[in-house]
Amino acid sequence: MKPIIRILLTGAGSPGAPGVIQSLKKSEDYKIYIVGVDCNPNSVGFHMTDRHYVGPKASEESFIPFIEHICKKEKIDVLFSLVTDELIKLAEHRDVFSRSGTRMNLSSVPALQTVINKGVLYTALQKMGIAVPSFQVTSSAKQFRKALTALGYPEQPICFKPTISDGSRGFHILDDRVDRFELLFRQKPTSVYISHSELLRIIQGRKEFPEVLVMEYLPHEEYSVDVLAENGQVAIAVPRLREATVGGISTKSLIRQDQDIIDYATMVVERLALHGNIGIQIRRDRSHQPKIVEINPRMQGTIVHCTAAGINLPVLAVKQALGVLPLHLDSKVKWGTRMVRHWKEVFYDADGSSYTL
C-alpha cells in the first residue's frame, strides 16, 4: 500500500495549479492528499483538491499564523506555494513549520530577495560575469526617460517592467516602428506594444513612480526552463520553447533539448545557490545568445508539460522535501513533446459546490 503524503498547496487559484495537482496525483510511489489554499473562494484548484480553505493574502498579518494552523490541523508533510509574494515570508518562518513536521523546498531568504527583484537579479548576475540584457533600474519618470535614450531608443526597441511583478503584469515594449493600424484593427486589445507619445502622456506629471527595469528588447525565441536544484546543484533542467502565450501564460510550447539554454540556466542556478523548483525565463538576443528575463523561485505555471514529457518535477520535489530524492536522476525526457492548452470550465452551484460537465 502506498504511503500517504499530505501536501498543502497555496495559490490553488493560480493558472498553474491544475497542472501541478494533476502531476502530484500521478505519483507512482505515494498516495497524495492535497489541501488547497487561496484567497479566492471560487478558485478552480479547489475543485481538484481533497480539501480546501479560503485564507488571507501574504500581505496580511494573519497569513503565517493561518498557514501554520492549517499545517498543524491537516498534519501537512510538504508545503508548496505557487505565489511569489508568499515565498520570502514562508522562508523566513521555515523553522516554525519544520517544528510542526512540515517541510518546504524553498531557497534561502537572501537568494529569494535577490531573484524576486529583477533589478537586484540583473545586477547580481552582471557582477558574476553572466550575460544579461543591457539594463537600467529607474525610480522616477525623469530617470525612466533618460534610460530609454541610454539604451538605444528610438534606433532599437526597448522593453520595461516593474522590478517586482508577477507574470506579464506591467510589461511593455516601446517600439514606434510597429504598425499601429495593424494593432488597432487586427490585434487583440492586449498587445504589449506602446508608442513613445502614449508612454509620455501616461507618465507625464506623475509624482509616484514604481521602480522599473528598463532593458534591451530580446527579439528571438523565448524559453521557460523548469529546474530542480539541491542547494545550487542542478538535478535536472528542462527547457520549454514558448511558441504562443496569452497574458504571460504558455498556450503552446515545445520541450526542446537546446544545450546552450540548459547550460545558461544551470550556471544561473548554481551561481545563485537556488534550491527546489526553479523557473527561469530566457530569451535569445539579437545575436541569438541566451539572456535572462526573470526567475520564478517556485513551480512554474506550465510545469505539467514536463510531466507529460516523462519528468514529473512536482513529485520529484516531494521526494526532495522528504529527503529521498536519488543523487542521480534517471531522467528520460521525451524531447519533442508539444503542448497545446485549451479552456476547460468549472461550475458552481448556489451553495458553492463545484462540478464539471
pLDDT tens, 20-36? 999 999 999 999 999 99
341-357: b (≥16 Cβ within 10 Å) or e: beeeebeeeeeeeeeee
Element housing 321 (H / E)? helix 313-322
pLDDT at res. 34: 98
For 151, the grid coordinates are 539604451
% of the chain exceeding 90 in pLDDT:
83
Say how far residue 305 (Cα) sits from the centre of its chain.
14
Element housing 24 (H / E)? helix 17-25
Distance CA 29, CA 31 (A): 7
Distance CA 289, CA 268 (A): 15
For 89, the grid coordinates are 515570508
pLDDT band at 169 (very low <50, low <70, confident <90, very high): confident
% of the chain exceeding 70 in pLDDT:
100
pLDDT at res. 31: 98
pLDDT band at 63 (very low <50, low <70, confident <90, very high): very high
SS3 263: helix
* Close Cβ partners of 152 (under 8 Å, ≥ 6 residues apart): 134, 158, 216
Mean pLDDT of 124-133: 98
Tens of pLDDT, residues 90-101: 999 999 999 999
- On the question of pLDDT at 323 being above 90, the answer is yes
- In the chain the domains, ranked by start, together with CATH numbers, are 4-105+345-355 (3.40.50.20), 112-116+219-340 (3.30.470.20), 134-216 (3.30.1490.20)
pLDDT at res. 52: 97
Mean pLDDT of 185-192: 82
pLDDT band at 227 (very low <50, low <70, confident <90, very high): very high
What Cα–Cα distance (Å) separates residue 169 from each residue in 112, 172, 190, 209?
20, 9, 11, 15
